[in-house]
Structures are given as C-alpha cells and as structure tokens.
Copies of this chain bind each other. A is one copy, B any other.
Amino acid sequence: MPSNDHPWTHLDEKGRLKMVDVSDKAPTWREARAVGRVLMAPETLRRIREGEVTKGNVLEAARLAGIMAAKRTWELIPLCHPIPLTAVEVSFEADPDLPGIRIRARTKTCDRTGVEMEALTAVTHAALTIYDMCKALDRTMCLDGIRLVHKSGGRSGTFSVEEDS
C-alpha cells in the first residue's frame, strides 16, 4: 500500500523527472513474473484452437514478440535502466471460460535494479501480437488484467500475489 513517506523514485524533490541512480545498489539476482489476458469472442478463440498449426504459429509469433520486446524495455520505457536479461519466458493458456488467452511471463537478471517492467513488457507485446494476428476476425478483443504477480531480489524484497483472480 502506498504511503506518504514513500518518495517518488522517478521524480526529484521539485517533481522533475529522473532516472533512479542505482550506482549504490549491489547486483543481486532479480526475478519477476507478470500475467495478463486477451479477451475475445468465443468464436475467435475457437478459430485459434481448431488447428494445431494455426494455434502454434499465432502463439509462437506472440511469444517471440514478447521475448524480443522484453529485451528492449529500457529503450521503450523512458526511465528504465538497460538490463542484460539472463532469462525471459512467455507462456500461454487458452481458457474458454474467459474466453481468451492467458499470458504469463517470467524475467530474470543479476543486476542493480529489478525486472518487473521487463516482465510486464513481455506480456503486453505478446498480447498486442495476438491482437494483431486475430484483428481481422475480431475487433472487440481486449487486453486485460496485465499486472505483476511476483518479484524477488533487491532492497524492496519479495512481492507475491495470486496469479488468477
């Protein structure tokens, strides 16, 4: 829960933007996991699932997009630090109850700052790619529930919530 005492990390005392100076932090192993989902019409999900090749290729394209974007997080999010990721994983689960596709990403590094933004970037770009590949079938898809579910390492310690809510 946010508190008044907690300083803005990306604003200085006058409210000006800043990148956090992480020079004094020690490199430690950092891991993060994020989730999200692409909600879609039942028929759209059926179309994705009906052919093994179709499903495979839609999801593999989304996986690559998520992995590639995660590596470039520091270029895309203005105040993120360049981080040499040692692992990025993106996985999918077709869920007829949504209906839609659940996305999970995990990122890892040994560095002076965390990889939460990298995990969230992986999820959003995988989701955008699914949207792109299916948009001619369904323009009503919605990217939803994109959030952090776990982080560990670093001064602020471990954060964990339930993945499925």
Contacts and interface: CB of A to CB of B under 8 A. Distances in A.
Interface of A: 1-4, 6-11, 14-23, 29, 36, 41, 43-44, 47, 50-51, 53-54, 56-61, 63-65, 67-69, 71-72, 74-89, 91, 108, 110-112, 116-117, 120-121, 124-125, 127-129, 131-133, 135-148, 151, 156, 159, 161
Given A1-B138, A67-B19, A8 B54 contact: yes
Contacts of A159: 139
Contacts of A29: 23
A144 to B, nearest CB: 5
A22 B124 contact: no
A19 to B, nearest CB: 5
Given A20-B87, A76-B128, 6 more contacts: A4-B47, A7-B136, A10-B58, A19-B88, A23-B108, A67-B79
A77 B59 CA distance: 13
Contacts of A129: 77-79
A87 B69 CA distance: 22
From DSSP, what is the main secondary structure of chain A's interface residues? mixed
A69 to B, nearest CB: 6
A8 B147 contact: no
A1 B53 contact: yes
Nearest to A72: B75
Contacts of A17: 57, 60-61, 63-64, 67
12 contacts: A2-B41, A2-B43, A2-B47, A2-B137, A8-B54, A16-B59, A22-B86, A67-B78, A67-B79, A79-B133, A81-B84, A120-B128
